Amino acid sequence: MRIAFFSWESLHSIPVGGLSVHVTELAAALQRKGHEVHVFTRIGNNQPIYQNIDGVHYHRCPFAFCSDFVYEMTNNMCKSMVYYFNETENFIGNFDIIHGHDWHVVLALDELKKTKGKKVVFTLHSTQYGRDGNHFHNGKAQDISNIEWYGTYIADRLIVCSHAMKDEVMRLYRVPEWKIRVIPNGIWADRFDCIKIDAWNEVKKHFGFGVYDPMIVFVGRMTYQKGVDLLIEAIPDVLKDFPNAKFVFIGDGYMKSQLERRVGELNLWHAVRFTGYIPDDWKLKIIKASDVVVVPSRNEPFGIVVLEAWAAGKPVIATHGTGAGELIWHDVTGYRVYQAPNSIAWGIKEILRNPEHARWMGEKGRYAAKTVFNWDNIAEQTIKVYEELLR
């Protein structure tokens, strides 16, 4: 098959978040399966418009910047993507499938479906409602929600990363169930094998922790959606039973200063460290040095950090009603807890009380990451969706 991806980010253009990893890894996995993959994305500084990277064709589309981000994406970027797609198709021949990722590219998909009759696959990685912490807002947020709805409407198939996300888009956008396919995100667990660390000298000493202090890690944006406040409120309960426990919060966001104030009010600075944004290699070392990774989200379409923790051989605590919680096999790869501080504290204390069982759960999680969630497996599931539309 000849497949066209449309995404505002990739690792080989302008990476912003987890979407860039998904698009890049899935494109590469599809190419390894023998398919011809073209990625239409933004252009970064000093980057060529076209580049073949590991067999995947990257078309970096230049366009004019605009102070209105939504307009910049839906008008300027989408028009440029359509232009370069048409130029490419005129040169090499017809594409079989066009596959767009998130709201930024919806109007490019719409134009190509209307003018060329292309079969459209649309992956919605999250919703504006979810990113806003399960709240509706007016203004630009409403505009983006409307675009997301339109993307689900024009798509011949809609891919989401979890059943929690499937339920959300069916509820929010009235998407018929027959149109939706659930395909999880993937990971290359083997990249964690080359990360060899001395947990004390390389990580715990850096934070001023004791060599035997258990370490609990959160990775994500400091936002209401991510439930960081729930974890902070759980810390005093954990410290009653495990006074040497230490907590590391990796990430940045609009709630960071508020959360830091709350840590001060609870007199927890001896047990808590905020790192802000850190490079990926340092983040992975911290995860490998941890005892458990906590994902306390109120809304989480998937939770790639769950796979990262499992790839590092660590058990995970995640909340009910989220894509992250959906991944957990309770008491086998971690614990599924309620979106409440006392329940989160219970999960952490269970991990710390039973270190041998925690290690066993981490091993089971690693097996899942290497088998169920490897990118080649995710590519196979995606190919089946394409084949449905081409029959």
Query: Which residue segments constitute the domains of the chain, with CATH numbers given?
Result: 2-186+374-390 (3.40.50.2000), 189-371 (3.40.50.2000)
Collect contacts of 44-48 with beta carbons under 8 A, ≥24 apart: 44/13, 44/14, 47/13
Please state, in angstroms and as integers, the Cα–Cα distance from residue 53 to each residue in 10, 21, 60, 94, 124, following that order.
12, 14, 12, 21, 25
pLDDT at 97: 98
Question: Letter for the amino acid at 284?
Answer: L
Sign of CA dihedral 240, 246, 250, 254: positive
DSSP states along 44-113: -TT--SEEEETTEEEEEE-----SSHHHIIIIIIHHHHHHHHHHHHHHH---SEEEEESGGGHHHHHHHH
pLDDT at 63: 95
DSSP letter, residue 212: T
Q: Can you tell me the distance from the alpha carbon of 336 to that of 344, in angstroms, rounded to the nearest whole number?
A: 9
Contact 123, 160 (CB under 8 A): yes
| Partners of 219 in the β-ladder | 250
Q: Can you tell me the distance from the alpha carbon of 112 to that of 95, in angstroms, rounded to the nearest whole number?
A: 11
Write phi, then psi, for 134 (nearest 5 degrees): 65, 40
pTM metric for this prediction: 0.88
Q: Can you tell me the distance from the alpha carbon of 238 to that of 216, in angstroms, rounded to the nearest whole number?
A: 11
pLDDT at 274: 97
Q: Can you tell me the distance from the alpha carbon of 287 to that of 310, in angstroms, rounded to the nearest whole number?
A: 10
| Partners of 6 in the β-ladder | 40, 100
Q: β-strand 56-61 against 180-182: which pairing, if any?
A: unpaired
pLDDT in tens, the chain (391 residues): 999 999 999 999 998 878 898 999 999 999 999 999 999 999 999 999 999 999 999 999 999 999 999 999 999 999 999 999 999 999 999 999 999 999 999 999 999 999 999 999 999 999 999 887 777 888 899 999 999 999 999 999 999 999 999 999 999 999 999 999 999 999 988 877 777 777 778 899 999 999 999 999 999 989 998 999 999 999 999 999 999 999 999 999 999 999 999 999 999 999 999 999 898 889 989 999 999 999 999 988 888 899 999 999 999 999 998 888 999 999 999 999 999 999 999 999 999 999 999 999 999 999 999 999 999 999 999 999 999 999 8
Contact 2, 35 (CB under 8 A): yes
Rounded to whole angstroms, the maximal C-alpha distance in the chain is 68
Measured between alpha carbons, how far apart are the two ends of the chain, in Å? 13
Q: What angle do CA 241, 246, 251 make, to 5 degrees?
A: 135
pLDDT at 134: 73
Q: Can you tell me the distance from the alpha carbon of 57 to that of 38, in angstroms, rounded to the nearest whole number?
A: 5
3-state secondary structure of 274: strand
Q: Can you tell me the distance from the alpha carbon of 362 to that of 304, in angstroms, rounded to the nearest whole number?
A: 16
Residue 132 tokens read as: 């806003």
